[in-house]
Amino acid sequence: MPLKRLRNIGIAAHIDAGKTTTTERILYYCGVNRKLGETHDGQATMDFMKQEQERGITIASAAITANWNKHQINIIDTPGHVDFTIEVERSMRVIDGLIGLFCSVGGVEPQSETVWNQAERYKVPRIACVNKMDRVGADFKDVCGQLEKYLDANPVPFQIPMGAEEDFVGVINLIENKAVFYPSELEREEKEIPAEYAEEAKAARKFMIEKFADYDDDIMELYFADEEIPVDMLQRVARMCTMSRLITPVFCMSAYKNKGVQDMLNAVVAYLPSPIDVGDVVGTDVDDPEKVHSRHPKADDPFCALAFKLINDPYVGQQTFIRIYSGTLESGTAVLNSTKGKKERIGRIMRIHAKDREELTEAGAGEIVALIGMKDTKTGDTLCDVKEPVILERIYIPPSVIEMRVNPKNKNEEEKLGLALNKLTSEDPSFNVHVDEESNETIIAGMGELHLEIMVDRIKEEFGLEVEVGEPSVAYREAIQSSAEQDYKFSKQTGGKGMFAQCTIRFEPNTQGAGFEFVNLIKGGSIPNEFISSVRKGLEKTMPDGFLAGYEILDVKAVLVDGNFHPVDSSDMAFQLCASMCFKAAYPKLSPAILEPIMKVEINTPDEYLGDCIGDLNKRRGKIGEMRRFRKGAQKVDGRVPLSEMFGYSTSLRSLSSGRANYSMEFNSYEPVPANVQEKVIKEAAERKAARNK
């Protein structure tokens, strides 16, 4: 398949906007499936995990290949639930274009904004589709207005609907100025625009052409001369504007009723970019991060790819999904994992059709394929030509905010549990595991209660393990809020060779989200160069366990100012211990604080329950932000609320609103807790420690 006929696209939206149903219709119309799969009956092709079928939601992004109008389309269907946002994040990193799906009733919902911003971060061109036009309360114009107001998307309708709700009969294609009807699930008829929609279509087409005229002189001249503008010229400018992210084309459909899906596929082919349109990918030099290298989407360029997802398949083993940016990959060849500095031999190359697979002998630039048999490659690693190494930008991994204790019921299965958790963490970088050194308990951490619930379910179903789990708890963090300089001398004599190290380190708060930063200002050899890295290593080992309540310490800048050494007694371990103790000694002077995860919460509530909902959020230490009209008789309320106050919130909200309000929640930031909460967290940590020591 020529590269110009290849499309790598994602489908992303808020939960229940119809992503998986849309994907099922695409597979049906492209001939991949012979019958329509539905999420509500557990038959969706893309939702092939048992947990997805039981819950009717998408958990893992799934890749599948289809063909439409002589084009190959690689589709990634992503989850809508915020607990699985890492699946969207890594998909955005490797796709070339995105279909943003919006419910015609719900409009721009919280996760819609999240995925839109993720796409913006990776500069992914988008088209917007207003789905569920057959639903009661469908309002195409209102959703377009929300796209402008809340996403700053510069929406331009390329279609307008004919009718809405049960009267939704088709769409008007504004580019070709034709009405499109769908008499049956496979039929699509183009006709003249009905008289009752003529004025509305004329106004919408004028608006679209005026937008194009802002970016193209030829269209501007024809528009001001009041001359007919050729369709091919409109399509050319529409494609240019979409790929440059100057506008967002808006389409409408009802995927469930099989109306508009073919037109959306035509739009993918016509307006979203091919790998050639996206152009070069830029990476950094392995030895010099300041030096950059470009890789072109050509077969004769050095091979370069990014691993973006791992799946442990019980039949073929680990599948490593990669996006190839340049060159050609052949099975049996050796490549370099430049991120880890290790060579990997390519075993089998697979093109994936959800749970089915097709074996390939080679794959080229622009392809998304799965590799079988990779040993060291993880999410975010770069694979490249051994002789032409390069490192591509890594994938952003959001912090985990909730923890849970998990232990096997049978003590003899501890090793088996460890292997299971290791496989799950390799698949999902936002899922973390650590062992509490004092209690020797295994702690799992993730993005939310549902995330951990799914992981525990997978441990039971996929690995056949019976486990005991504790109550979910908040993943607090610690941070310093002021600066101080500390000198510390570590000296230990035990008969024979002793241990000696001395460090003077200035500790400062770092920018939020910047993590740990180490600066070396040693001059004159007061600490030999070989021990500088030991100081850094000792500090890095200290950060995971804070001194207030044992939580990880975030965003510290450590400046090594001075020090001393002994020619015989100084060692790597001596300087590691010295640095760690230096930080511990300085900690009380640094105004340490407990941080808690603050969640962005959005509530959709009927007007009559608005006051009760706001009052309830205030009781939960919430800060109310924007309130806006959701639909007639209903409001949307934005707020920022500590995660610790949100356990069991769904039950409370149902009770407050007689079951009529709903909400969504996602991580926003870490912020210091109030003094009374900090005292409580420290006290609880001390009590847990005392109980373990009994």
Q: What is the pLDDT of residues 582-604, one digit of tens each?
A: 999 999 999 999 999 998 888 88
Residue 254, number of CB atoms within 10 A of its CB: 25
Higher-pLDDT residue of 178 and 58 is 178
Longest dimension (CA), the chain: 101
Segment 283-291 shows an average pLDDT of: 86
Minimum mean pLDDT among 123-127, 431-435, 616-620: which range? Answer: 431-435
Enter the pTM of the model.
Answer: 0.72
Structure-model confidence comparison of residues 335 and 62, the more confident one = 335
Q: Return the half-sphere exposure (C-beta side, CA atoms, 13 A cut-off) of residue 362.
A: 11
* Residue whose tokens read 């504004």: 174
DSSP 588: G
* Whether the domain at 403-473 and the domain at 596-676 fall into the same CATH topology: yes
> 247 is written with which tokens?
């506008």
* Domain boundaries defined on the chain: 3-278, 281-392, 403-473, 481-591, 596-676
Mean pLDDT value of segment 203-221? 95
Residue 21 has pLDDT above 90, yes or no: no
Q: What is the mean pLDDT of residues 179-184?
A: 92
Question: Strand pairing of 317-326 and 391-392?
Answer: unpaired
CA 10 to chain centre: 12
Q: Which fold has domain 481-591?
A: Ribosomal Protein S5; domain 2 (3.30.230)
Nearest to 86 by CA among 392, 406, 365, 401: 401
pLDDT at residue number 692: 67
The CATH number for 281-392, chosen from 2.40.30.10, 3.30.70.20, 3.40.1280.10, 3.20.20.70, is 2.40.30.10
433-437 contact pairs (CB < 8 A, 24+): 434/544
- Considering only residues 140 and 52, tell me which one the structure prediction assigns the higher pLDDT: 140
What's the pLDDT at 631?
66
Question: What pLDDT is stored for residue 34 in this prediction?
Answer: 62
**Packed helices 231-243 and 217-224: angle between N→C axes, nearest 10 degrees:** 140
Flag whether pLDDT at 62 surpasses 60.
Answer: no
Sign of the Cα pseudo-torsion (669, 675, 680, 685, in order)? positive
Closest CA to 336 of 350, 322, 351, 346: 346
Query: Higher confidence at residue 464 or residue 185?
Result: 464
pLDDT for position 620: 93
Mean of all residue pLDDT scores within the chain: 86
Q: Which CATH architecture has domain 596-676?
A: 2-Layer Sandwich (3.30)
Q: Is it the case that residue 38 has pLDDT exceeding 60?
A: no
Residue 84 has a pLDDT of 57
Least reliable range by pLDDT among 357-361, 442-446, 449-453, 515-519: 449-453
Q: Are 312 and 423 in contact (CB under 8 A)?
A: yes
Where is average pLDDT lowest: 147-151, 331-335, 615-619, 659-663?
659-663
pLDDT of residue 54: 43
Q: pLDDT-derived band of residue 437, with 50, 70 and 90 as boundaries?
A: low
Nearest to 560 by CA among 488, 483, 487, 504: 504
Q: Domain 403-473 classified CATH 1.20.1560.10?
A: no
User: Domain 3-278 has what CATH class?
Assistant: alpha beta
